[in-house]
């Protein structure tokens, strides 16, 4: 749309020359459908060092998420010493490539700096530290982030709240407070609750739905819910994913698939790749079918840089492009599902 508009604007003054809308970006997943926007997590050192990786991100995607560089351990490695330079680099890259940025993540129990986890702070101090972190980070990126994952992974599988430094210090209201502070720091960013194993209808997604409904009823500024979408073909596909997205949307929330990948037990076989393709295609179709499903983000798009082998022993090959950036069946399944979305 933007590119079509640009082509028209360029063409109009001369009236004779028709400037084609085609650019180097015209053949990526980003060009197939108006919605959802399609994105990837970005590994900033790969972006800096691997030109093929960089070109593929520009070509394929219109939303990007920093895989690590906006996490607390990176942005405040020593107390009081903030460093947003890598996040700034991603924001610049995104702007140059007409991409939006999903900020990830302000409040989490993981990838916290050591000064924080091994410090001896009172509950009041921890509340002040969290508040300050949110104001500093969301304030630093104010106006440049499309959506923030404000709170990440707050629930256990049974729907109870996870025991974290934040729950212990502030009580369950840490979640509401985080959203209120984030909204003050960046009033235009969409604010999301984000979690894994939220795909199916069940205790965990029921609890998340109850939470976000309560927040909305209290006029806490929350706009959306992110479903991470870390799947594996050794587990059944979450068949209720589409209905689940629908019930969150019906409750008045934007929804997004925020970290999609589909891992498999190695070695790779053609059969496993075919199964993986159906999982990716089904996830994309579920999103495309729900009007309020605004973005579909992959947690890495090439097996060359995927986090999966490092975290799940014996598993891998979880993304749509192989290590050589060649498309796997999953890539075509995503493209076809998008094409049907129109
Ligand atoms: C992962 C990154 O991909 C890894 O590079 C890092 O070492 C650990 O975190 N859920 C999330 C993401 O919300 O932030 C995690 O990212 C994957 C699971």
Which residue in 67, 137, 153, 199 is the catalytic one? Answer: 153
Percent of the chain surpassing pLDDT 90: 91
pLDDT for the residue numbered 132? 98
| 108 Cα nearest atom in ligand 1 | 13
Residue of the CA atom closest to atom 15 of ligand 1: 67
Mean pLDDT calculated for residue range 254-267: 99
Ligand 1 proximity of 152 Cβ (cutoff 6 Å) = yes
Residue 7: pLDDT above 70? no
pLDDT for the residue numbered 27? 86
Question: What's the CA-to-centroid distance between 22 and ligand 1, angstroms?
Answer: 35
Tell me: the pLDDT tens digits for 9-65?
333 333 333 433 334 445 899 999 999 999 999 999 999 999 999 999 999 999 999
pLDDT for the residue numbered 10? 38
Residue 3: pLDDT above 60? no
Q: What is the number of other CB atoms lying within 10 angstroms of the CB of residue 49?
A: 10
Does residue 105 have a cis bond before it (omega within 30 degrees)? yes
Contacts for 126-130: CB closer than 8 Å, 24+ residues apart: 126/165, 126/166, 126/169, 126/170, 127/169, 127/170, 127/174, 127/177, 130/166, 130/169, 130/170, 130/174, 130/177, 130/178, 130/181
pLDDT for the residue numbered 1? 43
DSSP-derived pairing of the beta strands 224-227 and 190-195: parallel
Mean pLDDT calculated for residue range 267-277: 98
Residue 335: pLDDT above 80? yes
Question: What's the CA-to-centroid distance between 211 and ligand 1, angstroms?
Answer: 24
Mean pLDDT calculated for residue range 261-287: 98
DSSP conformation class of 182:
H
> Which is nearest to 293 in space by CA: 63, 52, 16?
63
Q: How far is CA 267 from the centre of its chain?
A: 28
| Residue 259 annotated as catalytic | yes
pLDDT for the residue numbered 16? 37
CA-based max dimension of the chain:
71
**Res. 5 pLDDT band, cuts 50 70 90:** very low
Tell me: the pLDDT tens digits for 212-239?
999 999 999 999 999 999 999 999 999 9
> Which is nearest to 259 in space by CA: 311, 219, 301, 217?
301
Instruction: Identify which of 307, 308, 311 to mutate to test ligand 1's pocket (most ligand atoms within 8 A of the CB).
Output: 307
pLDDT for the residue numbered 341? 83
pTM of the model as a whole: 0.93
Question: What's the CA-to-centroid distance between 311 and ligand 1, angstroms?
Answer: 9
Question: What's the CA-to-centroid distance between 18 and ligand 1, angstroms?
Answer: 46
pLDDT for the residue numbered 14? 34
Mean pLDDT calculated for residue range 131-152: 98
Ligand 1 proximity of 195 Cβ (cutoff 6 Å) = no
pLDDT for the residue numbered 26? 55
**Res. 342 pLDDT band, cuts 50 70 90:** low
Residue 328: pLDDT above 60? yes
Residue linked to tokens 């799947």: 231
| 307 Cα nearest atom in ligand 1 | 3
Mean pLDDT calculated for residue range 66-70: 99
| 230 Cα nearest atom in ligand 1 | 18
Q: Which residues pair with 264 in a beta bridge?
A: 316
Residue 4: pLDDT above 60? no
Q: How far apart are CA 303 and CA 309, in angstroms?
A: 9
pLDDT for the residue numbered 13? 36
pLDDT for the residue numbered 57? 98
Ligand 1 proximity of 67 Cβ (cutoff 6 Å) = yes
| Residue 153 annotated as catalytic | yes
């Amino acid at each position: 749309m933007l590119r079509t508009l640009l082509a028209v604007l360029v063409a109009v003054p001369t009236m004779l020359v028709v400037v084609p809308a085609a650019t180097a970006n015209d053949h990526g997943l980003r060009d197939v459908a108006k919605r959802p926007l399609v994105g990837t997590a970005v590994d900033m050192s790969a972006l800096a060092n691997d030109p093929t990786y960089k070109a593929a991100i520009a070509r394929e995607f219109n939303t990007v998420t920093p895989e690590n560089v906006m996490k607390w351990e990176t942005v405040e490695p020593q107390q009081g010493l903030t460093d947003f330079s890598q996040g700034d680099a991603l924001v610049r890259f995104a702007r140059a490539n007409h991409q939006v940025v999903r900020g990830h993540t302000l409040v989490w129990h993981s990838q916290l700096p050591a000064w924080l986890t091994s410090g001896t702070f009172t509950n009041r101090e921890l509340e002040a530290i969290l508040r300050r972190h949110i104001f500093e980070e969301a304030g630093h990126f104010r106006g440049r982030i499309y959506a923030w994952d404000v709170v990440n992974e707050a629930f256990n599988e049974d729907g109870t709240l996870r025991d974290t430094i934040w729950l212990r210090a502030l009580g369950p209201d840490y979640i509401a407070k985080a959203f209120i502070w984030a909204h003050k720091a960046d009033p235009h960013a969409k604010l999301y609750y984000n979690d894994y194993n939220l795909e199916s209808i069940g205790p965990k997604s029921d609890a998340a739905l109850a939470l976000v409904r309560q927040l909305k009823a209290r006029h806490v500024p929350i706009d959306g819910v992110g479903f991470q979408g870390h799947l594996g073909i050794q587990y059944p596909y979450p068949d209720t994913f589409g209905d689940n997205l629908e019930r969150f949307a019906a409750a008045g929330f934007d929804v997004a698939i925020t970290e999609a990948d589909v891992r498999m037990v190695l070695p790779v076989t053609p059969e496993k790749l075919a199964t993986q393709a159906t999982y990716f295609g089904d996830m994309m179709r579920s999103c495309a079918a729900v009007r309020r499903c605004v973005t579909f983000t992959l947690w890495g798009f090439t097996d060359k840089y995927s986090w999966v082998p490092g975290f799940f022993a014996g598993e891998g090959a979880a993304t749509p492009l192989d290590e050589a950036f060649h498309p796997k069946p999953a890539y075509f399944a995503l493209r076809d599902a998008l094409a049907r979305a129109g």
